[in-house]
Amino acid sequence: MTLHISSAYNEDLIYINSKIVEMGGLCEQIINNTNLSIRDNNVQLAEKAVLLDEKLDFLENEINESVIKAIALRQPVADDLRVLFSAIKISGAFERVGDLCKNIAKRTQLLSDEYQIDIRREIFELGDKVKKQLTRSINSYTNQDIKLATKVWKNDYKIDQMYTDLFENLLVYLKKKKRVASGSHLMIIAKNYERIGDHTTHIGEMTHFAITGENLVAIRPKVNLPV
């Protein structure tokens, strides 16, 4: 892409982009810790995820301030405007991903005494699927890959399907084991993963919009969620 005549403007945009990429990397780290903490009942990794989330909040604020400054000083238009608008939306999505992971991690800590939860594996698989989807959405942004961004957007139904199946299994678990407290936490954990999936979809949508100026509005596969 041709550079702007104003080198300061170029630097602003590069800086904002680097912060988005940094947030993406952190999100991958957090969700990885969260997933493993569930699978292996690892409290230390859950604690780490909670701590890392603070960094995300800080980075989101930094991006917001930089975007506001760029809008005020540069009056961006066309692709610049779309990139800056998307930066706000994507950093917001990353921040929400961090919050949801933190929530999962905290619940994992509460479940740490429940060694015998046989459903851990299924929840980990949902988390792993969401993590892969998150990585694809980050890659679509960093590589400015419209095809991959569209794929992320289209594939959200797979996560929804997994969540729906897991929800059914959790209901059975709750009824069978009569573990209301742990069952409720697991339900919310599953729902949080499903929500993270929605945020990764949004990152794909915003990446697509930043590159093309078009919103992804075509019909995509959907799953009717239980809740």
CA torsion, points 165, 167, 168, 173, in degrees to nearest 10? 130
Is 227 a binding residue for other proteins by CB under 8 A? The answer is: no
As a whole number of angstroms, the distance between CA 227 and CA 216 comes to 24
**From candidates 9, 15, 157, 167, binder to other proteins by CB under 8 A:** 9
Residues 222 and 157: beta-carbon distance below 8 Å: yes
As a whole number of angstroms, the distance between CA 187 and CA 196 comes to 14
Please identify, among the stretches 3-11, 90-98, 119-127, 143-151, the one whose residues bind other proteins according to the rule CB under 8 A: 3-11
Going by C-alpha positions, the residue among 10, 24, 7, 34 that lies closest to residue 106 is 34
Please identify, among the stretches 1-9, 64-72, 160-168, 191-199, the one whose residues bind other proteins according to the rule CB under 8 A: 1-9
Is 226 a binding residue for other proteins by CB under 8 A? The answer is: no
Q: Least separation, in Å, of the C-beta of 5 and other proteins? A: 5
As a whole number of angstroms, the distance between CA 85 and CA 106 comes to 32
**From candidates 68, 79, 172, 184, binder to other proteins by CB under 8 A:** 79
Q: b/e per residue, 137-174, with b = 16+ CB within 10 A?
A: bbebbeeebbebbbebbebbeebbebbbebbeebeebb
Q: Least separation, in Å, of the C-beta of 77 and other proteins? A: 5
Closest to other proteins by CB, 4 vs 132, is: 4
Going by C-alpha positions, the residue among 184, 155, 170, 196 that lies closest to residue 49 is 196
Closest to other proteins by CB, 5 vs 217, is: 5
Is 154 a binding residue for other proteins by CB under 8 A? The answer is: no
Is 72 a binding residue for other proteins by CB under 8 A? The answer is: no
**From candidates 80, 122, 145, 160, binder to other proteins by CB under 8 A:** 80
**From candidates 81, 146, 174, 188, binder to other proteins by CB under 8 A:** 81
Is 2 a binding residue for other proteins by CB under 8 A? The answer is: yes
* Residue in the block written with tokens 């945020």: 199
Q: Which residues bind other proteins (CB under 8 A)?
A: 2-6, 9, 75-82, 213-214
